[in-house]
Amino acid sequence: MARITLRQLLDHAAEHGYGVPAFNINNMEQGLAIMEAAAAVDAPVILQASRGARSYANDIMLANMIDALDQMYPNIPLCMHQDHGNEEATCATAIKYGFTS
C-alpha cells in the first residue's frame, strides 16, 4: 500500500476502534524494527521525524529510506509525519520530501 495521510489512517482507526502509535525515526535500524513489528501484527504505522532527526539524517537520506521501507513493506499502511514543524519552510520541505502529514 502506498503512503497514506494521517487523516486517512486516523479515520480508519476511529471507525474500527483501535489506536495507532507514532514512532520517531532517524535511522535504518529504527525503520526496519518498526516496520517489522507492524508487519507482524498487520497494523498501520505512523513514522515521524522531528526537525532534529531531519537535520541528523538529512532530508534526502530520510526520504529515500522511507521510500525503501514503503517498498519493502507494501502491505503496511504508512504515514510519514513531520513532528513539530516550527515554521512554513519546515512544513514545505517535509512535503517536498514525501511526508504525508
**Catalytic residue check, 67:** no
- Report the alpha-carbon distance of residue 58 to residue 37 in Å, rounded: 25
Given 11, 42, 67, 83, the catalytic residue: 83
* 83 phi/psi in degrees, rounded to 5: -85, 115
Cell of 90: 519546515
Cα 45 to Cα 62, 86, 89, distances in angstroms: 16, 23, 25
Cell of 2: 502506498
- Say if residues 75 and 1 touch (Cβ distance below 8 Å): yes
Q: How many residues does the chain have?
A: 101
Catalytic residues: 83
